[in-house]
């Protein structure tokens, strides 16, 4: 798909960061927008930014991990704008931010429900609309942490690896269709994804440097060209190269050394064994 004028583009997590940047860019390209976010104020702000540019805008505040509401959103989009042409499953949360033994079951369940099942629900709710149109694109946002495992992010990495597996399977299933499928692995993009996560401020300052609009433009170029894997953002190429070029043992040592400064020593005292 190369022309987005009057195409219906659905964007989850549109209240800030990359989701907002997708909305602004697709509005500039003349698309009709269906926007979601859990943050009502953030979503309203995004709607205010794009209403003058996009031919039509609908929005709905809900948690993408709620399957029934995602399905009803798809029905509302069809009723108000027509069948969707592009679904961008962008919404996500940062995870628990602790090592495996300190994360709670709730951390894992919440992160998987939003970051993985939100992608599954969004894809499955809107894919029939793309198929009815006979053209379209599914854009699922993983992460560079869907390429390598990193400390204090086991719930986040698990979800983003799952998005990768789900999306790569979908690519093969739709290989002979007119629907293109794109898997995005953003690196350090300047968003609020780490807000509220333990150590998030330090992580944000050190690693989240790329303007979201730069990533969005690369994704749009990928949709136009049919590129299936899109790796972009600060340090993304280095992590992608590391993910396949190094033996696992060497890769893990390298990642531990790179990220050790962000690992709270108190969280890792248990590794020293019982105290005398």
**How does DSSP assign 69-118, residue by residue?**
HHHHHHHHHHHHH-S-SEEEE--------S-TTTS-HHHHHHHHIIIIIH
Q: Which two three-digit tokens encode residue 157?
A: 């990495």
Are 48 and 127 a contacting pair, CB within 8 Å? no
| Cα 211 from Cα 73, distance rounded (Å) | 29
Give the Cβ contact number of residue 83 at 10 Å.
17
**How does DSSP assign 195-225, residue by residue?**
TTSTTHHHHHHHH--B-HHHHHHHHHHHHHH
Is 156 annotated in the active site?
A: yes
Q: Which two three-digit tokens encode residue 174?
A: 């739709």
Catalytic residue among 108, 121, 156, 207: 156
Sheet containing strand 229-232, edge to edge, reads: 57-61, 32-37, 8-11, 86-89, 136-141, 179-186, 229-232
E-strand ranges in the chain read 8-11, 32-37, 57-61, 86-89, 136-141, 179-186, 229-232
| Cα 75 from Cα 66, distance rounded (Å) | 15
Show which residues are catalytic: 156
């Amino acid at each position: 798909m190369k022309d987005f004028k009057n195409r219906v583009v659905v964007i989850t997590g549109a209240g800030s960061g990359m989701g907002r940047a997708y909305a602004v860019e697709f509005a500039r390209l003349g698309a009709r927008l269906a926007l979601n976010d859990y943050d009502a104020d953030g979503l309203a702000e995004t709607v205010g930014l794009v209403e003058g540019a996009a031919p039509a805008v609908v929005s709905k505040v809900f948690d993408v991990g709620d399957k029934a509401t995602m399905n009803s959103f798809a029905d509302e989009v069809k009723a108000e704008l027509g069948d969707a042409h592009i679904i961008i499953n962008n919404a996500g949360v940062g995870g628990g931010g602790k090592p495996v033994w300190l994360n709670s079951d709730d951390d894992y369940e919440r992160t998987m429900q939003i970051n993985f099942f939100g992608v599954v629900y969004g894809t499955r709710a809107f894919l029939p609309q793309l198929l009815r149109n006979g053209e379209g694109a599914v854009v699922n946002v993983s992460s560079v942490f869907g390429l390598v495992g990193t400390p204090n992010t086991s719930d986040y990495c698990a979800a983003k690896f799952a998005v990768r597996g789900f999306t790569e399977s979908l690519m093969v299933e739709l290989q002979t269709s007119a629907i293109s499928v794109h898997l995005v692995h953003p690196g350090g993009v300047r968003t609020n994804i780490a807000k509220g996560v333990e150590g998030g401020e330090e992580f944000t300052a050190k690693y989240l440097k790329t303007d979201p609009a730069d990533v969005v433009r690369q994704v749009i170029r990928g949709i136009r060209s049919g590129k299936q894997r899109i790796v972009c953002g600060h340090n993304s190429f280095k992590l992608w190269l590391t993910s396949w070029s190094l033996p696992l043992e060497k890769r893990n040592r390298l990642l531990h050394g790179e990220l050790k400064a962000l690992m709270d020593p108190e969280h890792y005292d248990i590794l020293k064994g019982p105290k005398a």
